Amino acid sequence: MPGLVDTHFHYLTQTLTAVLEARSEPPRVFSQNGGRAIEYGRANGHDLYPEMLDLDAQLRDMDEAGIDLAVMSVQVPGVDWFEPAEGVAVARDVNDELVDVTRQTPDRRAALALLPMRAPEEAASELERAVGAGLRGGIVFSNTAGRNIDVPEARVVFDTAAKLGVPIMIHPTYPLSAKATDAYALIPTIGFLVDTSMATLRLVFDGVYDRNPDLKLHLCHAGSLLPQVAGRLDYESMRFPGGLGKTEGRPTDYLANLYTDIVCLWPSAIENAIALVGPDHMMFGTDYSFWEMAPAFEAFSKVNVDDDVRAAISSSNARAFYELGT
Parse the chain into domains and list their residue ranges.
4-17+51-321
How confident is the prediction along the chain (326 residues), in pLDDT tens digits per residue? 579 999 999 999 999 999 999 999 999 999 988 899 999 887 688 899 999 999 999 999 999 999 999 999 999 999 999 999 999 999 999 999 999 999 999 999 999 999 999 999 999 999 999 999 999 999 999 999 999 999 999 999 999 999 999 999 999 999 999 999 999 999 999 999 999 999 999 999 999 999 999 999 999 999 999 999 999 999 999 999 999 999 988 999 999 999 999 999 999 999 999 999 999 999 999 999 999 999 999 999 999 999 999 999 999 999 999 999 87
Tell me, which fold does domain 4-17+51-321 have in CATH? Answer: TIM Barrel (3.20.20)
Give a three-class secondary structure readout of 73-133.
ECCCCCCCCCCHHHHHHHHHHHHHHHHHHHHHCCCCEEECEECCCCCHHHHHHHHHHHHHC
Q: What is the distance between the alpha carbons of residues 174 and 219, in angstroms, rounded to a whole number?
A: 16
Q: What is the distance between the alpha carbons of residues 238 and 230, in angstroms, rounded to a whole number?
A: 12
Q: What is the distance between the alpha carbons of residues 168 and 113, in angstroms, rounded to a whole number?
A: 9
Is the CB of residue 314 less than 8 Å from the CB of residue 303?
Answer: no
Q: What is the distance between the alpha carbons of residues 182 and 203, in angstroms, rounded to a whole number?
A: 26
